[in-house]
Amino acid sequence: MSDRISVAKTYKLYIGGKFPRSESGRVYPVTDAKGKFLANAAHASRKDVRDAVVAARKAFPGWAAATAYNRGQVLYRVAEVLEGRRDQFVAEVSSSEGLAAKKAESVVDAAIDRWVWYAGWTDKIATVLGAANPVAGPYFSFTVPEPTGVVGVLAPQGSSLLGLVEVLAPVLATGSTAVVVSSAERPLPAITLSEVLATSDVPGGVANILTGRAAELGPWLASHGDVNALDPTGAAPADRVELAREAANTVKRVLTVPESEPDWTAAPDLTRLRRYLEAKTVWHPLGV
Amino acid sequence: MPVFEYAPAPESRAIANLKDSYKPFVNGEFVDGSGEPLKTINPATEEVLAEVGTASKSDVDVAVKAARKAYNGVWSKMPGTERAKYLFRIARLIQERSRELAVLESLDNGKPIKESRDSDVPTAAAHFFYHAGWADKLEYAGYGPNPRPLGVAGQIIPWNFPLLMLAWKIAPALATGNTVVLKPAETTPLTALVFAEICQQAELPPGVVNILPGAGDIGASIVAHADIDKIAFTGSTEVGKAIQRQVAGTPKKLTLELGGKAANIVFEDAPLDQAVEGIVNGIFFNQGHVCCAGSRLLVQESIAEEVLEKLHHRVSTLRIGDPLDKNTDIGAINSAEQLAKIRGLVESGDAEGAERWTSPCPVPDRGFFFAPTVFANVHQSMRIAREEIFGPVLSVLTFRTPDEAVAKANNTPYGLSAGIWTEKGSRILWMANQLRAGVVWANTFNRFDPAAPFGGYQESGFGREGGRTGLEAYLNV
Per-residue tens of pLDDT for chain B, all 477 residues: 566 778 999 999 999 999 999 999 999 999 999 999 999 999 999 999 999 999 999 999 999 999 999 999 999 999 999 999 999 999 999 999 999 999 999 999 999 999 999 999 999 999 999 999 999 999 999 998 899 999 999 999 999 999 999 999 999 999 999 999 999 999 999 999 999 999 999 999 999 999 999 999 999 999 999 999 999 999 999 999 999 999 999 999 999 999 999 999 999 999 999 999 999 999 999 999 999 999 999 999 999 999 999 999 999 999 999 999 999 999 999 999 999 999 999 999 999 999 999 999 999 999 999 999 999 999 999 999 999 999 999 999 999 999 999 999 999 999 999 999 999 999 999 999 999 999 999 999 999 999 999 999 999 999 999 999 999 999 998
Contacts within 8 Å (CB) and 24+ apart, B363-366 = B363/B320, B363/B321, B364/B44, B364/B320, B364/B321, B364/B322, B366/B44, B366/B45, B366/B46
Q: How far is CA B400 from CA B210, B238, B308, B453, in A?
A: 52, 34, 16, 32
For B240, half-sphere exposure in the C-beta direction (CA atoms, 13 angstrom radius) is 28
- Catalytic entry in B105, B186, B291, B465: B291
Rounded-to-integer distance, Cα B375 and Cα B315, Å: 13
SS3 state at A125: helix
Q: pTM higher than 0.80 for the full model?
A: yes
Rounded-to-integer distance, Cα B340 and Cα B347, Å: 10
Task: Name the packing angle between helices B304-315 and B272-284 (round to 10°).
Answer: 60
Is A279 within 8 Å of B455 when comparing Cβ atoms?
yes
CB-CB: which of B142, B447, B458 is closest to A251? B458
CB-CB: which of A133, A245, A254 is closest to B451? A133
Is B244 within 8 Å of A251 when comparing Cβ atoms?
yes
For chain A, say whether B177 makes contact (Cβ under 8 Å). no
Rounded-to-integer distance, Cα A162 and Cα A33, Å: 17
Contacts within 8 Å (CB) and 24+ apart, B73-81 = B74/B205, B74/B207, B74/B208, B75/B174, B75/B177, B75/B178, B75/B179, B75/B205, B75/B208, B76/B149, B76/B151, B76/B177, B76/B178, B78/B177, B79/B136, B80/B135, B80/B136, B80/B137, B80/B138, B80/B177, B81/B135, B81/B136
For A130, half-sphere exposure in the C-beta direction (CA atoms, 13 angstrom radius) is 18
B472 is catalytic: no
Is A241 within 8 Å of B249 when comparing Cβ atoms?
yes
Rounded-to-integer distance, Cα A255 and Cα B45, Å: 48
Closest to A218 (Cα-Cα) out of A186, A196, A243: A243
Rounded-to-integer distance, Cα A200 and Cα B58, Å: 60
Rounded-to-integer distance, Cα A146 and Cα A125, Å: 10
Tell me the nearest-neighbour CA distance from B455 into chain A, angstroms: 8
Q: How far is CA B396 from CA B305, B308, B311, B428, B442, in A?
A: 11, 9, 11, 20, 18
Q: Torsion-angle region of residue A175: left (phi > 0), alpha (psi -120 to 50) or beta?
A: left
What residues of chain B, 225 to 254, have a C-beta less than 8 Å from chain A? 237, 240-242, 244-245, 248-249, 253
Q: What does the DSSP 8-state code read for residue B73? A: I
For B191, half-sphere exposure in the C-beta direction (CA atoms, 13 angstrom radius) is 32
Q: How far is CA B241 from CA A98, A153, B8, B233, B457, in A?
A: 43, 21, 44, 11, 14
For chain A, say whether B457 makes contact (Cβ under 8 Å). yes
Return the pLDDT at B411.
97
- Catalytic entry in B257, B388, B459, B472: B257
Name chain B contacts of A65, Cβ cutoff 8 Å: 433
Number of Cβ atoms within 10 Å of the Cβ of B237? 21
Residue type, B292: C
For chain A, say whether B278 makes contact (Cβ under 8 Å). no
Name chain A contacts of B467, Cβ cutoff 8 Å: 131, 133, 143, 279, 281
What count of residues does chain A have? 288
β-strands A207-210, B417-421 pairing: unpaired
| Cβ atoms of A262 and A167 closer than 8 Å | no
Q: In what order do the strands lie in the sheet with B21-22?
A: B21-22, B48-52, B38-41
CB-CB: which of A137, A245, A250 is closest to B248? A245
Secondary structure E strands in B365-465: 373-376, 393-399, 417-421, 439-442
Closest to B115 (Cα-Cα) out of B100, B105, B125: B105
Closest to B17 (Cα-Cα) out of B103, B142, B111, B138: B103
Averaged over successive runs of 10 residues, the pLDDT of chain A (288 residues) comes to 86 98 97 94 98 98 97 98 98 96 98 98 97 97 98 98 98 98 98 98 98 98 98 97 98 95 95 96 94
Name chain A contacts of B440, Cβ cutoff 8 Å: 280-283
Rounded-to-integer distance, Cα B145 and Cα B164, Å: 31
Rounded-to-integer distance, Cα B334 and Cα B341, Å: 11
Return the pLDDT at A288.
81
Tell me the nearest-neighbour CA distance from B154 into chain A, angstroms: 19
Query: Between the CA atoms of A154, A155, A157 and A162, what dihedral angle is there, to the nearest 10 degrees?
Result: 170
Name chain A contacts of B144, Cβ cutoff 8 Å: 269
B257 is catalytic: yes
Number of Cβ atoms within 10 Å of the Cβ of A263? 9
Rounded-to-integer distance, Cα B384 and Cα B347, Å: 9
| Cβ atoms of A282 and A132 closer than 8 Å | no
From first CA to last CA, the distance across chain A in angstroms is: 81
Interface test mutation site (partner A, options B255, B462, B468, B472, max chain A beta carbons within 10 A): B462
Return the pLDDT at B278.
97
* C-alpha of A1 from chain center: 39
As for the ipTM of the complex, it is 0.96
CB-CB: which of A131, A279, A284 is closest to B443? A284
Q: Which residue of A has its CA nearest to B238?
A: A249
Name chain A contacts of B444, Cβ cutoff 8 Å: 139, 283-285
Name chain B contacts of A230, Cβ cutoff 8 Å: none
Is B447 within 8 Å of A139 when comparing Cβ atoms?
yes
